[in-house]
A = this chain, B = another copy of it.
Amino acid sequence: MSATNRQILLNAHPVGFPVETDLKVVDTPVPEPGGGEILVRTIYLSLDPYMRGRMNPGPSYAKGVDLGEVMGAQTVGQVVTSRHPKFSEGDIVLSFGGWQQYSVSDGKGVQTLDPGLAPISTAVGVLGMPGMTAYVGLLDVGELKEGDNVVVSAASGAVGAVVGQIARIKGCRVVGVAGAKKKCDYVTGELGFDACVSHYSETFPQDLNAACPEGIDVYFENVGGKVFDAVVPLLNDFARVPVCGRIANYNMTEPPPGPNEVPRLMGMILVRRLMIRGFIVYDRAHRQADFLRDVGGWIRSGELKYREDIVDGIENAIGAFQGLLRGENFGKLLIRVSDDPTQP
């Protein structure tokens, strides 16, 4: 066991794009669990776009990280020491361990994972929060119907890839939006989307228009910015826009230029009977059993695929997170903080 616990703390609230000095790597002693507590060694640390919001001062839908505090994150880890009746040494657990090598927990909200059921990393990916976000966002919030024309942004990402595949499984036509060519190729070649448009293209709005000859019935919004601007004119009557993220806007310090007047948008919402609904996956926990049954089944049958982008070493979390905000990851981004004992 390493004698130290390497942690990454919030050092400053970023102004715009987070720079390296907004975070700080520190080495502290591995903590001792008290009575009723467990010590967990982090295996996988999940990096997700929502974390950018937690770095800001002031409240969002969840409490932010205070300066000097360890950055929060869902983690998959292994119990090293247990003084808790529910957990044994060696258990693989899903918890909110944060950006660090070791964490202590009183067991609240900690879930034991069965490595025989699925690779343990999927508990923070396709079978975890990102997958569930895709599932409830598309089916419940987006009110998906067979035959819908669906557009998904960040199409090769942790959420987008699941959105598009569920839509395909449900008999919809699916167009993805992604950046790099290899991502677009993956989305159409591997995941079976009907088309994928690159937002790097100078003719992106026209490309998207051409890829959606029957307009858009559901736009799964998780990027904002110019993708949203290009989507809005293509929305059909009764289109639905589940809003789950706006990553392109997270680092903005002022509003972007462009067609951004609320009255224009609201006029369209009325005339086209649009629905735009914000949602957060944690509000919809009652759907978890359905989600695990369906998506778990599709993974087992091979109907639904997933891809992980694994970076080794906690000290690389800062650079990887910056890359995530720039769209450089390819698949669900994970930091492998220590060896996964369930993998050969």
B273 touches A275 (CB 8 A): no
Task: Check: A310 CB closer than 8 A to any chain B CB.
Answer: no
Point out the residues of chain B lying under 8 angstroms from A260, CB to CB. Answer: 260-263
7 cross-chain pairs, A with B, having the tightest CB-CB distances, nearest first: A270-B278, A269-B278, A275-B277, A255-B261, A260-B262, A273-B278, A260-B261
A252 to chain B, nearest CB (A): 7
Known: A270-B245, A273-B280, A275-B276. A265 touches B262 (CB 8 A): yes
Task: Check: A243 CB closer than 8 A to any chain B CB.
Answer: yes
A257 to chain B, nearest CB (A): 10
Known: A255-B261, A261-B255. A228 touches B266 (CB 8 A): yes
Choice from B60, B245, B262, B273 contacting A283 with Cβ under 8 Å: B273
Known: A261-B255, A261-B260. A224 touches B277 (CB 8 A): no
- Number of copies of this chain in the oligomer? 2
B255 touches A264 (CB 8 A): yes
Task: Check: A271 CB closer than 8 A to any chain B CB.
Answer: yes
Task: Check: A249 CB closer than 8 A to any chain B CB.
Answer: yes
Choice from B261, B269, B278, B280 contacting A277 with Cβ under 8 Å: B269
B283 touches A276 (CB 8 A): no
Q: Which residues of A contact B (CB under 8 A)?
A: 60-61, 221, 224, 228, 237, 243-246, 249, 252, 255-256, 259-280, 283
* Cα separation A316 to B274 with both chains bound (whole Å): 36
B271 touches A278 (CB 8 A): yes
Known: A249-B263, A260-B263, A264-B255. A243 touches B224 (CB 8 A): no
Point out the residues of chain B lying under 8 angstroms from A276, CB to CB. Answer: 266, 269, 274-277
A341 to chain B, nearest CB (A): 38
Find the residue from A221, A249, A266, A271 having the highest chain B CB count within 10 A: A266
Known: A261-B261, A269-B278. 20 other contacts (CB 8 A): A60-B271, A61-B237, A61-B271, A224-B266, A228-B262, A243-B270, A246-B263, A246-B270, A256-B263, A260-B260, A260-B261, A262-B262, A269-B277, A270-B280, A271-B278, A273-B283, A274-B277, A275-B275, A275-B277, A276-B276
